[in-house]
Amino acid sequence: MVFLFRDKSIVNIFFLAVLAVGVHLHLFFGAPLVVSNGNDGVFSVILREYVAGFSSTVLFMLYLSIILLQAIRLNMVLSEMRMFQNNTYTIAMAYVLLSGIMVEWCSISPALVANFLLIWIFIKLCRLYNHPSPKTLLFNTGLIIGLSVICYYPTAILIGVVLFALVVVRPFRLAEWVILLMGILLPYYFLSSILFLQDKLDKLHQFVPALRLNLPVATWSVPLVIRLAVLVMMMIAGLVFWQLTHRRMVIQIRKNWGIMMVMLFILLPIPFIFKQAGIESSFMLLLPLASFASNAFSTPRRLVLPNILFWTAAAVLVYNNWVMIGLG
């Protein structure tokens, strides 16, 4: 199956759609859940008040459309930045394939929507290296992050991503850091002003992320351990093959991968540090995870290992669909 995605052709979009339907076959037997916690941002309110009332067919089409759009967009971005030696659709394939590994990811959640913002922020950070007006770009990036936090509180961890990425991409300049922080704080400045004019300033704390160490799952099970093991295996395989080609990359591409590496490790603790975030919040980790994992699908000349990884993930997906359909 992997060979179908190792060339860049318009027909690959059709194959991606077929793969997405196969990965989420359970949606034919029940609409995706709309996961909404009223205490984690504007996205949750929108999903609860408006999206949750959609019909099963609309929710089915909405979920698959979001997954495909994000996969294709990520594939286009990494290809345009020449972060891979060959232009393929293995990045989009890895994104779609891994989107069904965790049962909790098979839902319409704020984290699912937040991945659009995550891709946008990654593009902004990668442009910092040779940008003629970095201060403007940094302010706009900070503004996007500030708005993202209001929309979905766990995206507050992206502040750490941007700060570390700024260290990777550019030499230290205090003015640039101050401008970035001003952009991040500006949405909260306007929010505070609106609440003050409405004499509701005491409610500002409701728009601030609540941090608390917790376990995202109450009990561990064998299927959960296997799912996590598959994700770790994909990540390790991708990192190994990425390391083989890393030294031959030009400096700018290395820095882009450095940003992706920072994103990978800083997003890891999201379900453990944000109150009531749930394991579905880890869906944001899918973006860097799929990016690195795609190295294991596109780099090897022989398809033995890529096919083993693909069919290992496929076996987990078959079991997940079996369970979610209600046959297991």
Question: For 152-164, how does the pLDDT look when each residue is reduced to its tens digit (9 = 90+)?
Answer: 999 999 998 898 8
* pTM exceeds 0.75, yes or no: yes
The answer, yes or no, to whether residue 327 has pLDDT greater than 60, is no
What value does the mean pLDDT take over residues 286-309? Answer: 92
Q: How confident is the model at residue 98, as a pLDDT?
A: 95
Please state the domain count of the chain: 1
Range of the domain at 227: 2-325
State the SS3 of the chain.
Answer: CHHHHCCCCCHHHHHHHHHHHHHCHHHHCCCCEECCCCCCCHHHHHHHHCHHHCCHHHHHHHHHHHHHHHHHHHHHHHHHCCCCCCCCCHHHHHHHHHCCCCHHHCEECHHHHHHHHHHHHHHHHHCCCCCCCHHHHHHHHHHHHHHHHHHCHHHHHHHHHHHHHHHHHCCCCHHHHHHHHHHHHHHHHHHHHHHHHCCCHHHHHHHCCCECCCCCCCCCCHHHHHHHHHHHHHHHHHHHHHHHHHCCCCHHHHHHHHHHHHHHHHHCCHHHHECCCCHHHHHHHHHHHHHHHHHHHHCCCCCHHHHHHHHHHHHHHHHHHHHHHCCC
pLDDT in tens, 85-114: 888 899 999 999 999 999 989 999 999 999
What value does the mean pLDDT take over residues 213-224? Answer: 81
Q: How confident is the model at residue 118, as a pLDDT?
A: 94
The answer, yes or no, to whether residue 76 has pLDDT greater than 70, is yes
Q: How confident is the model at residue 326 (pLDDT cuts 50, 70, 90)?
A: confident
The answer, yes or no, to whether residue 9 has pLDDT greater than 90, is no
Q: How confident is the model at residue 60 (pLDDT cuts 50, 70, 90)?
A: very high
Q: How confident is the model at residue 83, as a pLDDT?
A: 87
Q: How confident is the model at residue 226 (pLDDT cuts 50, 70, 90)?
A: very high
What value does the mean pLDDT take over residues 6-21? Answer: 88
